[in-house]
Amino acid sequence: MRSEPRPLPAIRLERDGGALRAVLSGDWTLRLLQPDLGTLRRQLDQIEADCIWDLDGVSRLDSFGALLLWRCWGRRCPPGLVLPDRLDSVFARLSGLGEGGLPVEPGYRFLDGTEGVGRLFFKMLRNVVGFVALVGQLVIDFFHLLHARGHWPVLETSANFYKVGVRAMPVTALVGFLIGVVLSYLSALQLRAFGADVFIVNILGLGIIRELGPVLVAVLVAGRSGSAMTAQIGVMRVTEEIDALAAMGISPYVRLVLPKVVALTLAMAPLTLWGSAVALFGGMVSANLQLDLSFDYFLNALPRAVPAANLVIGLSKGAVFGLLIALVACYFGLRVKPNTESLSANTTASVVTSITVVILVDAVFAIATRSIGLPR
């Protein structure tokens, strides 16, 4: 059964006393306006500015037809406009738009800067409160699992350990080796000028094991594994899988967040050791080529130049960095709203926040351990 054809858009000019009246009728929609759009636009442009507009006969009006009339009226409702109640909301929305259909931005006010600082402060405060709530929930779940040992997510933790630890070894080795070569090469240029070639072992050992190794691995993990954690949890939020877990009585914190936090905390220490070892190997190769230092001398001098306490500090940094990266990544993943824009914004915020936190905590470590592990 065929539907009845819709009435075409039309403009009829009438004289109401001494005033000109434009009576519109039909469906003012994109589908029906498109065939004769040029003719209708010329008719609208020829209508006098003081004309009275009557839209009571318009049966349907979409955003295209409304914007066509709105631009003809000079982006304001003309005086004496006859508008049925069903069309009030369409032009009410258009009245809040500026040029080109964009929202009208208010002008700068004196206190706008103060307001922006206040918004940023309260946003940071909400993030801190939410982060503390996440940590508190994980602590509660951890103590609960100590009594219910059969509920430990062992398989999830093992799978996450493999993804964030084992699969990150190639890229960590590549970057660590190149950083070691570059650091050794630049240091050799300066040490050779002063005849202090042998001190390259001290520079590479302390710099890589104590500082550069943990921070470099943490930045790589934040960009690789942290973003993946945020994206995974965020996609599960978008697809409502987290709500489905909660509806089945499964805690998303135990099955999703806790395995990631435990796995990354445990994986970061050996990953830091691996990255530092490869970086030292790269530095050793470069020192052999630049300064003609043998591998045997480098390996024998390294334990004397770098006390064992530096290795403990470096591994401790790695574990703490892994814990913080996992917590930040999971927190921003749980904050994702069910839309793609929120997913991308929170993934970006996760990586930036993780790297910032790593640098801040590394500064705290440097101050707290300033008198530990340094050769006198």
218-277 pLDDT tens trace? 999 999 999 999 999 999 888 888 888 888 888 888 888 999 999 999 999 999 999 999
pLDDT range class, residue 98, cuts 50, 70, 90 = low
Question: How many whole angstroms separate alpha carbon 301 and alpha carbon 294?
Answer: 11
Measured CA to CA, the distance from residue 95 to residue 101 in angstroms comes to 10
Q: 142 in a domain, yes or no? A: no
- pLDDT, tens digit, 9 for 90 and up, residues 123-160: 889 988 988 999 998 899 888 888 877 778 888 899 99
Host domain of residue 223: 153-368
Mean pLDDT for the chain overall: 85
Distance between CA atoms of residues 360 and 76, nearest Å: 54
- Winning range, highest mean pLDDT, from 208-212, 293-297, 358-362: 358-362
Rounded to an integer, the average pLDDT of 19-42 is 84
Q: How far apart are CA 302 and CA 309, in angstroms?
A: 13
Q: Is residue 1 a part of any domain in this protein?
A: no
Helix (H, G, I), strand (E, B) or coil at 165: coil
Is 123 inside a domain boundary? no
The verdict on residue 175 lying in a domain is yes
Give the single-character DSSP code of 97.
B
Give the end of a domain, one of 39, 66, 101.
101
Q: Which one-letter amino acid corresponds to residue 195? A: G
Q: What does the block give as tokens for 204?
A: 């590479």
Are both 167 and 311 inside the same structural domain?
yes
Q: Where residue 1 falls among pLDDT bands split at 50, 70, 90?
A: very low
In the prediction, which pLDDT does 104 show? Answer: 52
Same domain, 57 and 191: no
Which residues, 6+ apart, have CB-to-CB distance to 175 below 8 Å?
216, 220, 275
What's the total number of domains in the chain? 2
Which of 101, 117, 133 is where one domain is finished?
101
Task: Provide the token pair at 141.
Answer: 């779940």
Q: For the sheet with 10-16, list strands across it.
A: 10-16, 19-28, 52-61
Do 66 and 162 sit in the same domain of this protein?
A: no
Residue 232 lies in a domain: yes
Do 244 and 356 belong to one domain?
yes
